[in-house]
Amino acid sequence: MYVTAEPVFSAEPVVEIAHGVVGYADRPVLRDVSLSAAAGEVVAILGANGSGKSTLIRAILGLVPLRGGTVRLFGTPLKRFRQWRRVGYVPQRLGAGSGVPATVGEVVASGRLARRGVLRPPGAADRAAVTAALTAVGLAERAAEPVATLSGGQQQRTLIARALAGEPELLVLDEPTAGVDASSQTAFADALRGFVDTGGTVLLVAHELGPLQPLINRAVVVHDGKIAHDGAAPVPAGHHAAPDHDHVHPHAPEEPPGVCLT
């Protein structure tokens, strides 16, 4: 179904972290982590809370400093990497935000900044990309509404639209479906599938894959700051394996998830 022609993996990895070490104060979070993803791959990074999986992608994006090791994006060492237009980032949730209202369209339009720069005013291509991204996540009708009035799932879709608006080659997502309602999860998976079909590379941190499962070609499990598994997606165990189990907690989003990843 989703195996439309085997993706052509080029020799040079899109993302590469070699012997990465990250720590806060005296507490090591990642110890000697190596991982790379080739163009067109969809890699899920799985792990329990506190395993270091979010830290791993934050280190790859340069949001937390590396104590050791190296990161390369599109073959360029992170320090010298300037082509941020090729990267789309979807954070876990909308930043702490503020009282100043912002519309869905305004938030998504900031996704164009990496491409158009600080000084150039938005043009027709920018507006078209914003509309296309909003349509891809099913929020085209809500562009003029304040973000704060949307549901958590719709806010999350706004964030993926912001990343898609920049027309990136690599998408990095931090727990995009955590605590998101079922309809938003499906809309999210559809948007991601559209991106993968155009040859995009995806690095995705998750607790559980849910409707994203069929998109994943590779799973990496982070445990205790190290990579414990790198290969096929782990098979769900227990009642999570039941065919009708879609693992959504509509009434208790803060409940700890039941999937056993290692």
Partner 1 sequence: MNLFQYDFMIRALIGALVIGLAAPALGIYLVQRKMSLIGDGIGHVALTGVGVGLLLDRSPVITAVIVAAAGAVAIELLRERGRTSGDLALALLFYGGIAGGVMLVGLSNNRSNASLMAYLFGSLTTTSRTDLVVICVLGAVVLAAMLLLRPALFAICHDEEYARVSGLPVRALNILIAVAAAVTVTIAMRTVGLLLVSALMVVPVAAAQQVTRGFRSTMAAAMALGVLAAGLGVWLAGEIDTAVGATIVVLAIAGFLAVAVAAAAWRALRRRPFTRTAEVEPPDVILER
Positions that interact with partner 1 (CB under 8 A): 61-63, 82-85, 87, 89, 91, 94-103, 105-107, 109-111, 113-114, 118-119, 122, 144-146, 162, 166, 172
The CB-of-110 to partner 1 minimum distance in angstroms stands at 4
Q: Which is nearer to partner 1, 8 or 96 (CB)?
A: 96
Q: Which is nearer to partner 1, 176 or 236 (CB)?
A: 176
Q: How far apart are CA 184 and CA 160, in angstroms?
A: 11
Q: Which is nearer to partner 1, 10 or 83 (CB)?
A: 83
Q: Which is nearer to partner 1, 155 or 185 (CB)?
A: 155
Beta bridge partners of 87: 170
The CB-of-97 to partner 1 minimum distance in angstroms stands at 7
The CB-of-229 to partner 1 minimum distance in angstroms stands at 27
The CB-of-252 to partner 1 minimum distance in angstroms stands at 28
Q: How far apart are CA 71 and CA 34, in angstroms?
A: 9
From the list 77, 107, 85, 106, the residue with the least C-alpha distance to 95 is 107
Q: Sign of dihedral through CA atoms 129, 133, 134, 136?
A: positive
The CB-of-261 to partner 1 minimum distance in angstroms stands at 26
Q: Which is nearer to partner 1, 85 or 249 (CB)?
A: 85
Q: Which is nearer to partner 1, 47 or 166 (CB)?
A: 166
The CB-of-165 to partner 1 minimum distance in angstroms stands at 11
Which residue type sits at 2? Y
Q: Which is nearer to partner 1, 201 or 217 (CB)?
A: 201
The CB-of-126 to partner 1 minimum distance in angstroms stands at 10
